[in-house]
Amino acid sequence: MSAFAAAFQNLNPVFDRELRQRSRSGRSVILLSLLLTALTGILYVAHLAVTQESRNQFNGGQEMVTNTAGAVMFESVLFVELALLLLIIPGISSGAISGERDRQTLIPLQVTLLGRFGIFMGKVGASSSFVLLLIIASAPLLAIPYLLGGISLTRIMLGIVTTLLTGITYATLGVSCSAFFRRTQTATLMSYLIVFLAIFGSLVIWVVINIVRSAQGDFSPAPSWPMLINPFVGVADAAGDFTNDFSSFPGPFSGLKQGFFGDNWDGRIASNQPNWLYSLAVQITFTGAWVVLGLRKLRLPQKEID
Amino acid sequence: MSLPPQPAAPIEVLDSGTGLSIASPVSFEALQPGVEAVVSARHLTKVYGPLTALHDFTIDIPRGSIYGIIGPNGAGKSTAFSILATLLQPTAGAALVCGFDPTSNPKAVRKRMGYMPDVMGVYERLTVAEYLQFHAAAYRVPRSEWASLVPGLLELVDLDVKANSLVDRLSRGMKQRLSLARAMVHDPELLILDEPASGLDPRARIEFRQLLVALQEMGKTILISSHILAELQQMCSDIAVIEAGVLLASGSPDSIIHQLGNGRSVKVSFDDGTTETFSVTDTADQASLLRRLVNDDERTVVEFTELTTDLEGLFLQITQGIVQ
């Protein structure tokens, strides 16, 4: 065993075992290949879109890209990557602990000296490692738009880091659901329900607030706080931009950022608040509550055998 | 119900091996003077709503013994085991396992106790050796010891040739032996084995029994439950019979048979083809019965046989098949 592998095993045996088992399964490789293929496709489509846009602007002239082309491509790829992560992560993480229960391997693990934190963190680490793997594997795709210009390295890095943290947050949430709910199906269902509510529930609340305010004659921008729980809006604030370029359509994240965090009527004036940081804080706090609930279920001795 | 005497307040010390905060061991007053108990339970009770799964369970398990707990399904065996194995809190009563309270100091107990549940789950895509290494790491066994520990354990449970086989490809008997090896990976002084022989074929059962006897000879204390009563009678130095959460009898198999069987019973066949069984307390009682039957004018005794009481007979005699 290499020193690297030994260090992993010393750090957390559950984490080490999960990675070992996963590396022997072809599933991760297939999933990763499919994801990267999809992201490459999105990058190509985004490139076609921005070049077509430039043709239209210059009346069918020479093919060229506008100064926001790189940003649009980057945001498109990152947007789809985040969407795919939120689609995949609950499926991967929500069986982490309930799956051990199903296989009758949890009790032998619980009577070791690992403790509930050790077991839980090992599972979170294993689920998060897939998020990290995907982000690292897709980094070259995200770097291509940088060559086209129109986007800063800082924005790219911030977008990648917030996507990574969002992914880890939802992986932790999935593991918590897995610890809290006895059955894997229930844990998976709840994980997807939470993701759905965070994305669309927050949007519905925001729209309702807007309608009520409009009915009251208030047409100023609605408060963006209901959207802070929304993973897309959080990443949008980090990866998007308040563009003043009327000649080009914004990327998906810039559109969201302008829509929810713009200060004037068309969102072209920036809010200087680090909303992505607030958004992460809200999501992590919400997940933290689930972590507490999940860890309570793992505490032994219990009053009743779960 | 009166609460049991509580052990003296534990003293917090730091274990040099694991860095865990543990307390120094304490003990209850022994039920039998002079017996050093590895497990002591006093008035353990577990109530689930209207159901009392375990009621006033009091035992001492002597060091170095193989202690069998028998009882029908739902008798409370697994509940008792779960409390002792730090999985479940009792509603009332107290227990000491290797001198530590499994409820308030579970880590100190886990360090000294190996637990084998009735069903062994397996991990996919993990070899037998890796499975044991994983649990050795989980028990914080120093890595430097693994090179000798894992082959040694596999040899003990006769799985050394399967070291590189995948765990999920093993037969049930092999999985049970591997599960036992897992429970011993941190060299515990006590093994709690819940129905370890269930589902094994006769040969695997015999091998498993031999393995447990070998472990006893190595100084391990073994607490075991089983449905195979004859098996327990052969290897257990002590036995407890439990039904509907209540401890009916405990002690060595011979003493229980003597104590509860009231000595012996005899089967008598008569010339009219009938057969009757009589309980007798001792030889004099047996002779008295024979004289009375011989003098009976209505029937002639054609056969008079003393029945040997085994654990199965005793079990049927003292339990009523109560299901909670």
Band the pLDDT of B317: cuts 50, 70, 90.
low
Contact A20 B48 (CB under 8 A): no
Identify the domain containing residue A119 by its residue range. 12-298
List, in sequence order, the alpha helices (H) in A181-251.
184-196, 202-215, 231-239
Select from A116, A113, A117, A17 the least CA-distant residue to B114: A113
- Interface of B to A at Cβ within 8 Å reads 18, 20, 48, 82-83, 85-89, 102-103, 106-107, 110-111, 113, 115-117, 119-126, 130, 133-135, 137-140, 143, 179, 182, 186
Shared-domain flag, residues B67 and B178 = yes
Q: Are residues B304 and B199 in the same domain?
A: no
| pLDDT tens digits along A267-276 | 555 566 788 8
- Of the listed ranges A111-125, A213-227, B134-148, the least confidently predicted one is A213-227
- Structural domain that includes position B286: 262-308
SS3 A17: helix
Structure tokens at B32: 């039998």
Quick check: helix, strand or coil at residue B276? strand
Q: Which residues of A touch B89 (CB under 8 A)?
A: 301-303
Contacts of residue A299 in chain B, CB cutoff 8 Å?
Answer: none
- CA angle, A73 then A78 then A84, to 5°: 130
Indicate whether B55 and B91 sit together in one domain: yes
Region B175-197: mean pLDDT is 93
Q: How confident is the model at residue B12 (pLDDT cuts 50, 70, 90)?
A: very low
Q: Which residues pair with B303 in a beta bridge?
A: B269
Whether residues B77 and B206 fall in one domain: yes
Closest CA to B127 of B82, B86, B161, B98: B161
Q: What's the gap in Å between the CA of B272 and the closest CA on chain A?
A: 57
Above 70 in pLDDT, residue A237? yes
State residue A269's pLDDT score: 53
B150 and B288, same domain (yes or no): no
Statement: residue B7 has pLDDT above 50: no
> Do B103 and B216 have their domain in common?
yes
Region at B21 (left for phi over 0; alpha for psi -120 to 50; beta for the rest): beta
Interface size between A and B, measured as CB pairs under 8 A: 95
Write out chain B residues lying below 8 Å of A6, CB-based: 143
What is the rounded average pLDDT of the residues A207-222? 85
Residue B143: its chain A contacts at CB < 8 A?
Answer: 6, 9-10
Give the pLDDT mean for A157-177. Answer: 95
Between A284 and B321, whose confidence is greater? A284
Give the Cα separation of A129 and A28 in Å (integer): 11
| A7/B contact by beta carbon, under 8 A | no
* A14 and B CB contact within 8 Å: yes
Query: Which pLDDT score is estimated for A194?
Result: 96
Separation of alpha carbons B233 and B211, rounded Å? 16
Same domain as B290, residue B204: no
Whether residue A302 and residue B182 make contact (CB cut-off 8 A), yes or no, is: no
pLDDT of residue A263: 64
pLDDT bin (cut points 50, 70, 90) of residue B23 is low
Report the alpha-carbon distance of residue A97 to residue A124 in Å, rounded.
Answer: 10
Chain B interface includes A29 (CB < 8 A): no
Rounded to an integer, the average pLDDT of B95-122 is: 93
- In chain B, what residues touch A302 (CB-CB under 8 Å)? 87-89
Chain A residues touching residue B139 (CB < 8 angstroms):
112-113
Residues B147 and B195 in one domain: yes
Residues of B in contact with A100 (CB under 8 A): 121
Put simply, the answer to whether B126 touches A17 (Cβ < 8 Å) is yes
Q: How many structural domains does chain B have?
A: 2
Tell me, yes or no, if A17 comes closer than 8 A to chain B by beta carbon: yes
Q: Is the pLDDT of residue B120 over 70?
A: yes
What mean pLDDT, rounded, does chain B reach?
A: 84
Q: For residues A271 and B95, which has the higher predicted lDDT (pLDDT)? A: B95
pLDDT at residue A176 in the model? 96
Mutate to test the interface with B, among A105, A296, A300 (most CBs of B within 10 A): A300
Name the DSSP letter for residue B31.
S
The length of chain B, given as a count of residues? 324
Task: Identify all chain B residues contacting A103, using CB atoms and an 8 Å cutoff.
Answer: 121-123
Give per-residue pLDDT as tens, B214-267: 999 999 999 999 877 777 888 899 999 898 899 988 888 777 776 665 557 788
Residues B123 and B198 in one domain: yes
Residue B6 covered by a domain: no
Name the closest residue on chain B to residue A100, using Cα atoms: B121
- As beta bridge partners, residue B29 has none
Question: Both tokens of residue B114?
Answer: 């190996």
Chain B, nearest residue to A298 by Cα: B87
Q: Report, as an integer, the average pLDDT of B308-313.
A: 68
The pLDDT tens digits for B149-170 are: 999 999 999 999 999 999 999 9
Q: Kindly state whether A161 is in contact with chain B, defined as any CB-CB distance less than 8 angstroms.
A: no
Tell which of B21, B84, B125 to mutate to test the A interface (max A CBs under 10 Å).
B125
Euclidean distance between CA atoms B107 and A246, whole angstroms: 65
> Are both B84 and B203 inside the same structural domain?
yes
B110: nearest CB among A16, A113, A118: A113
Facing residue for B123 by CB, picked from A105, A107, A115: A105
pLDDT at A224: 82
Report, as an integer, the average pLDDT of A160-166.
Answer: 94
Looking at the fold, whether B81 and B200 belong to one and the same domain comes out as yes
The CATH number assigned to the domain holding B212 equals 3.40.50.300
Length, in residues, of chain A = 306
Domain presence at residue B323: no
At A222, is the pLDDT very low, low, confident or very high (cuts 50, 70, 90)?
Answer: confident
**Bigger pLDDT: B33 or B129?**
B129
Overall domain count for chain A: 1
Asked if pLDDT for residue B15 goes beyond 50, the answer is no
The CA distance from A5 to the nearest CA of chain B, in Å, is 12
CB contact under 8 A, A304 and B124: no
* A61 pLDDT tier (thresholds 50, 70, 90): low
Chain A neighbors of B130, CB-CB under 8 A: 17, 20
Q: Are residues B177 and B53 in the same domain?
A: yes
- State the distance between the two ends of chain B, measured CA to CA, in whole angstroms: 21
* Residue A56: predicted pLDDT: 65
Query: Is the pLDDT confidence value at A31 over 80?
Result: yes
